[in-house]
Each structure stands twice: as structure tokens, then as C-alpha cells.
Amino acid sequence: MGRGVILTVTSGGSESPVKVKVKVSEVSGVVLAPGVVHLTYFADNQGRRAWRALALTSTRARTEHAGAG
């Protein structure tokens, strides 16, 4: 994918955000359950590279699922 992304990062208790350009590539996601997605991507922050992963949930999907039973 190779898109640049601007992330807002707070550092050391400072209330003013610092903008950092992070290059994101190789993004993929897998649906684990209704309203739950596991996302993985490769991040390059000024030469500091790492694989990242996170789980995203949808409040709307949880509410709809809870009401279904």
C-alpha cells in the first residue's frame, strides 16, 4: 500500500500533540467475530520499523449482536 499517515502522539505528559509522519504498508485485516477485526500493518517511523497489530471493535455491532438473542 505504501501510504503515508500522520499520527498524533503525546509525549512525556505534554498536552500539546507532536505530529510525526509514519509510512504504513502491508496492511491486512481479518474479521474475528461480528464487529471485531484484527488489523496488522508494517510501520516505518523515520527508519524505526516494526510490525504492528491491533483489534478494532464496533460498538454498534456489539449492541446489535446483544439484541439478537
7 domain-assigned? no
Residue 40 domain-assigned? yes
Is 34 part of any domain?
Answer: yes
Mean of pLDDT values over 53-68:
71
pLDDT recorded at residue 14: 57
Q: What is the pLDDT of residue 42?
A: 92
Residue 1 forms part of a structural domain? no
pLDDT digits (tens, 9 = 90+) for 6-40: 444 444 555 666 677 888 899 999 999 988 999 99
- Domain with 34, as residue range(s), is 24-69
Residue 4 lies in a domain: no
Q: How confident is the model at residue 63 (pLDDT cuts 50, 70, 90)?
A: low
Burial 14-52 (b: 16+ CB within 10 A, else e): eeeeeeeebebeeeeeeeeeebeeeeebbbeeeeeeeee
Domain count, the chain: 1
